[in-house]
């Protein structure tokens, strides 16, 4: 509740949109268009909705709307005309935009489509219907290929669940591949369906909501919280735990060693099942226990021996945990070990983006793809080569395994971003090594291009060189602006705006433009983009490096499972406040037994970054890190940098997060 929030009336005097009942809203961020459905007449569109909104109307009365940003398709659940779509929602003259039936065959073409939900990654539309002639339409239906010429519908609900109910709300959770449903009375409450794309099994999940009717559902962009608007009990929310984590990379062969760190931030102990997926061998499972508010490191070598592998870690109690992985090795001729680290991901996906990648300048670049499914994954790996254009290469990853691909084998010596598209949900990582593996870095990808990306760490001082890598995965060009947040205020990159061709990558060596400064970075595009940052230095033992993917949004809480203070080992937590007001935070260090945990409070000014040295908190040995933003309505961005051998090696990662 924000009693001081200022609201602007953007439909004043615009006709029916200003006086009728509005059933639904949908935003096209890429084209800056707002769509509004009316119960008794037409879909309305506003250009520049946050500025001088201009409204126009089209099609008939509407219950619900869904916009597919990937395919630029707007779906409308209509009154007595089933589901309609337009493939030109950004057309110049909205009133004449053509609409096509997605339910072309009677009797579906005459049903009321009361609720819609879209799985954009799989191109699947879910709909709830009312059949005015009988109950056959009630419940939830699934449509494959709704944007194409042959949409195919299947009812995925039956007697005993939501199959004979009027559906008032639907929401698809892309993070967990889960469908949420709010049926009308007398059933009411909220129901969930896992893996709705493949089969259906509904579970009543109302909790305290009981049989109250959930007439609307919404979720945070990261899938960390679910909101329910009810007809009789106001608005409620629940935090959704992340009990399962995936790590695509891992090896105890070829001179590598690996350890996996698990953090239990809960107030009670948990048990975790760790499943290793070795290349060319059967899965291996072990179980570990963690006390409350603690962390644990495990060595896969003790269980697997010498192997390449991916890993899945599951909390058996279904509680929130966080997982990351560190790998070490000794390069040819090196005097100290190299290291890299990455947080895991909480779910596989069909599409991933990785902005960094190079197979020249002395680099090796390896793409690791984990397939946790019971069938093979057919992947298309697209290299977006800097200065040239995209090149797509097909790959196959066997069931329940990991495959490794060398960039040089596919494109030769080039700089390139990577996009992975798969017919099964997978998890990729990218590992890079240089100078006979003197050092290396590793990062997960992201599934979410966005208008803004943030990078909390960065410096061109203290002997560091920082690169910002930008990926434009769109087929058309993107105009990109880069802003460096320094202690003295924001500094605009002198090349702004950077015009990036479609399916391309851009490299910025920040030291060339902003020497001898500490900074954070914001990358903004007029189309959704992705940004990553790599840093290099030399303490006298040879070049070292670390790298990580950026974040598109700040968050309330971050979990970083690894951390250590010992001889030659440093751990730094970097907290960025991208907002316009100061924020109060707490940094908590969690020990292996959960005893002797230390909390450090701090106030971070607006638009600045603060750095915390674990040693300053009196920690010795290992500790996980929890960073919480305590200022209501604000959020932060967090990274953890670790250095070994007096900065002869280093690694950096974002953490797991919740809102």
Read off the CATH number of the domain in which 559 is found. Answer: 2.60.290.11
The model's pLDDT over 409-451, given as tens digits with 9 standing for 90+, comes to 999 999 999 999 998 889 999 999 999 999 999 999 998 899 9
Greater pLDDT, 373 or 631: 631
490: CB partners within 8 A, 6+ apart: 483, 484, 607
Q: Residue 264 half-sphere exposure, CB side, CA atoms within 13 Å?
A: 29
Which residues make beta-bridge pairs with 542? none
Residue carrying the six token digits 């799989």: 122
Tally the C-alpha atoms within 13 A of residue 400's C-alpha that lie toward its C-beta: 9
- pTM for this entry: 0.79
DSSP character at residue 197: T
The pLDDT of residue 133: 52
CB of 572 closer than 8 Å to CB of 563: no
| CA distances for 274 relative to 91, 298, 310, 401, angstroms | 51, 10, 11, 15
CB-based contact 479:526 (threshold 8 Å): yes
Q: Residue 77 belongs to what domain range?
A: 16-239
pLDDT at 3 over 60: no
* pLDDT band at residue 44 under the 50/70/90 scheme: confident
Give the rounded distance of the alpha carbon of 491 from its chain centre: 28
Cα–Cα distance for residue pair 320/561, rounded to 1 Å: 12
Give ∠ CA 334-335-336 in degrees, rounded to 5: 95
Question: Longest C-alpha distance within the chain, in Å?
Answer: 80
**What is the number of structural domains in the chain?**
2
Q: Which of 239, 261, 296 is the C-terminal boundary of a domain?
A: 239
Given 218, 239, 260, which residue is the final one in a domain? Answer: 239
Query: What is the per-residue pLDDT across 548-584, written as a single tens digit (0 to 9) for each?
Result: 999 998 999 999 999 999 989 999 999 999 999 999 9
Question: Residue 573 is encoded by which pair of tokens?
Answer: 């937590």
Domain closes at, from 217, 239, 261: 239
**pLDDT for position 136:** 67
d(CA 646, CA 652): 16
- Name the token pair of 392: 């797509």
- 13 burial (CB, 10 Å; 0-12 / 13-18 / 19+) is exposed
| DSSP assignment string, 530-584 | EEEEEEEEESSSSEEEEEEE-BSS-BSEEEE---EEBTTBEEEEEEEE-SSS-EE
Assess if residue 59 is contained within a domain.
Answer: yes
SS3 430: strand
Residue-level pLDDT at 201: 84
pLDDT of 431: 97
Examine the pLDDT at 224 and tell me if it is beyond 80.
no
| Token pair belonging to 325 | 């992985």
Q: Give residue-wise pLDDT tens across range 113-134.
A: 999 999 987 899 999 988 665 6
User: Which residues are within 8 A (CB) of 302 and not within 5 positions of it... i.e. 6 or more apart?
Assistant: none
Whether the per-residue pLDDT at 623 is higher than 70: the answer is: yes
| CA distance readout (Å), 144 to 121, 141, 196, 199, 645 | 12, 10, 11, 13, 54
What is the phi/psi pair of residue 459, to 5°?
-160, 145
SS (H, E, C) 2-60: CCCCCCCCCCCCCCHHHCCCEEEEEEECCCCEEEEEECCCCEEEEECCCCCCEEEEECC
Cβ proximity of 216 and 230 under 8 Å:
no
Distances (CA, A) of 435 to 338, 346, 438: 11, 33, 5
pLDDT in tens, 226-255: 898 888 788 888 888 888 999 999 999 999
Q: Are strands 43-47 and 33-38 parallel, antiparallel or unpaired?
A: antiparallel
Q: CA quadruple 490, 449, 416, 398: dihedral positive or negative?
A: positive
Report the percentage of the chain scoring pLDDT > 70: 97
**Residue 495 falls within a domain, yes or no?**
no
What pLDDT sits at residue 135?
62
Strand pairing category for 478-486 and 498-500: antiparallel
CA distance 618 to 629: 22
Distance CA 598, CA 618 (A): 8
The residues, any chain, with a CB within 8 Å of residue 243's CB and separated by 6 or more, are: 314, 315, 317, 318, 319, 320, 321
**Strand order across the 225-230 sheet:** 214-219, 225-230, 235-239
Residue 292 has pLDDT above 90, yes or no: yes
- The residue with tokens 């961005």 is 637
How many Cα atoms within 13 Å fall on the side-chain side of residue 111? 28
- Residue 189 carries which DSSP code? B
Q: Can you give the pLDDT at residue 551?
A: 93
Q: Is 563 left (phi over 0), alpha (psi -120 to 50) or beta?
A: left
Beta bridge partners of 115: 128
Quick one: average pLDDT of 451-455? 93
pLDDT of residue 310 exceeding 50, the answer is: yes
CA quadruple 299, 304, 308, 312: dihedral sign: negative
Q: 616 pLDDT exceeds 90? A: yes
Query: What pLDDT does residue 2 have?
Result: 40
Per-residue model confidence (pLDDT) at position 97: 86
The residue that leads in pLDDT, 272 or 158, is: 272
pLDDT (mean) for 271-275: 97
Residue 203 is part of a domain; what is its CATH number? 2.130.10.10
Residue 361's φ and ψ, nearest 5 degrees, are: 60, 25
The β-bridge partners of 237 are 227
Query: For 133, which DSSP code?
Result: T
| DSSP per position, 364-416 | EEEEEEEE-SSS-EEEEEEEEETTTEEEEEEEEE-TTEEEEEEHHHHHSS-BE
What contacts 65, CB < 8 A, 6 or more positions away?
24, 25, 26, 35, 37, 43, 74, 75, 76, 77, 116
**pLDDT at 80 > cutoff 90:** no
Task: Please indicate, yes or no, if residue 290 is contained in any of the structural domains.
Answer: no
**pLDDT greater at residue 199 or residue 157:** 157
459/537 Cα distance (integer angstroms): 11
pLDDT at 82 over 50: yes
For the stretch 524-539, pLDDT in tens is 999 999 999 999 999 9
Q: In sequence order, what are the beta bridge partners of 652?
A: 641
pLDDT in tens, 360-405: 999 999 999 999 888 899 999 999 999 999 999 999 999 989 999 9
Closest-CA residue to 204 (of 213, 196, 193): 193
What is the reported pLDDT for 1?
Answer: 37
Positive or negative, the Cα torsion across 382, 385, 391, 396? negative
Please indicate whether residue 267 or residue 607 has the higher confidence score (pLDDT): 267
Q: 185 vs 140, which has greater pLDDT?
A: 140
- Who has greater pLDDT, 85 or 22? 85
Asked if the model's pLDDT at residue 208 lies above 70, the reply is no
Least confident of 12-16, 23-27, 354-358: 12-16
| Residue 186 domain flag | yes
For residue 531, being part of any structural domain is answered with: no
The strand pairing partners of 56, in sequence order, are: 45
Q: Which helix (H) or strand (E) holds 89?
A: none
Rounded to whole angstroms, the Cα distance separating 463 from 461 reads 5
């Amino acid at each position: 509740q924000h009693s001081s929030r200022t609201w602007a009336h953007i439909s004043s005097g615009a006709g029916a949109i200003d006086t009728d009942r509005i059933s639904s809203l949908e935003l096209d961020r890429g084209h800056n268009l707002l769509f509004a459905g009316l119960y008794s007449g037409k879909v309305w569109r506003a250009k520049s909705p946050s500025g001088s909104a201009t409204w126009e109307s089209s099609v008939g009365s509407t219950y619900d709307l869904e916009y597919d940003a990937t395919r630029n398709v707007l779906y409308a659940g209509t009154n007595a005309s089933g589901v309609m779509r337009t493939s030109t929602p950004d057309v110049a003259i909205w009133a004449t935009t053509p609409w096509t039936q997605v339910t072309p065959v009677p009797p579906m073409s005459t049903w009321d489509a009361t609720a819609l939900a879209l799985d954009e990654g799989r191109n699947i539309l879910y709909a709830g219907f009312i059949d005015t002639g009988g109950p056959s339409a009630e419940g939830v239906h699934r449509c494959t290929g709704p944007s194409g010429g042959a949409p195919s519908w299947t009812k995925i609900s039956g007697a005993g669940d939501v199959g004979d109910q009027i559906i008032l709300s639907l929401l698809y959770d892309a993070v967990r591949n889960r469908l949420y449903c709010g049926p009308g009375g007398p059933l009411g409450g909220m129901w969930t369906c896992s893996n709705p794309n493949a089969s259906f099994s509904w579970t009543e999940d109302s909790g305290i909501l009981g049989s109250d009717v959930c007439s609307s559902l919404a979720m945070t962009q990261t899938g960390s919280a679910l909101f329910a608007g009810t007809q009789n009990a106001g608005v409620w929310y629940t935090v959704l735990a992340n009990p399962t984590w995936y790590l695509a990379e891992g090896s105890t062969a070829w001179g590598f060693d690996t350890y996996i760190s698990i953090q239990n931030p809960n107030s009670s102990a948990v048990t975790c099942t760790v499943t290793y997926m070795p290349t060319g061998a059967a899965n291996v499972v072990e179980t570990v226990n963690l006390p409350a508010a603690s962390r644990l490191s495990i060595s896969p070598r003790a269980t697997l021996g010498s192997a390449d592998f991916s890993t899945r870690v599951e909390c058996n109690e279904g509680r929130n945990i966080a997982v990351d992985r560190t790998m070490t090795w000794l390069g040819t001729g090196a005097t100290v070990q190299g290291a890299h680290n990455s947080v895991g991901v909480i779910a596989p996906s069909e599409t991933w983006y990785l902005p960094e990648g190079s197979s020249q300048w002395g680099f090796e670049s390896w793409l690791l793809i984990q397939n946790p499914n019971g069938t093979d994954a057919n992947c298309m790996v697209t290299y977006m080569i800097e200065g040239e254009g995209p090149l797509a290469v097909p790959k196959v990853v066997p069931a329940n395994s990991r495959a490794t691909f060398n960039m040089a084998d596919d494109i030769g010596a080039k700089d390139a971003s990577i996009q992975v598209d798969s017919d099964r949900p997978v998890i990729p990582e990218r590992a890079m090594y240089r100078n006979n593996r003197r050092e290396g870095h590793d990062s997960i990808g992201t599934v979410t291009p966005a208008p803004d990306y943030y990078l909390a760490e960065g410096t061109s001082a203290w002997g560091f060189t920082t690169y910002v890598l930008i990926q434009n995965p769109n087929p058309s060009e993107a105009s990109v602006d880069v802003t460096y947040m320094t202690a003295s205020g924001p500094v605009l990159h002198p090349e702004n705006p950077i015009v990036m061709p479609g399916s391309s990558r851009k490299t910025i060596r920040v030291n060339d433009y902003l020497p001898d400064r500490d900074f954070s970075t914001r990358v903004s595009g007029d189309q959704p983009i992705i940004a990553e940052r790599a840093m290099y230095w030399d303490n006298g033992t040879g070049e070292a490096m670390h790298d990580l993917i950026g974040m598109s949004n700040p968050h309330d809480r971050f979990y970083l499972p690894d951390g250590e203070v010992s001889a030659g080992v440093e751990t730094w937590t970097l907290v960025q406040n991208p907002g316009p007001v100061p924020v109060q935070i707490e940094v908590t260090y969690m020990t292996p037994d959960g005893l002797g945990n230390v909390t450090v409070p701090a106030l971070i000014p607006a638009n600045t970054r603060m750095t915390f040295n674990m040693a300053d908190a009196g920690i010795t040995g290992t500790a996980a890190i929890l960073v919480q933003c305590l200022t209501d309505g604000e959020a932060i961005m967090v990274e953890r940098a670790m250095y070994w051998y007096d900065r002869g090696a280093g690694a950096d990662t974002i953490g797991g997060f919740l809102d």
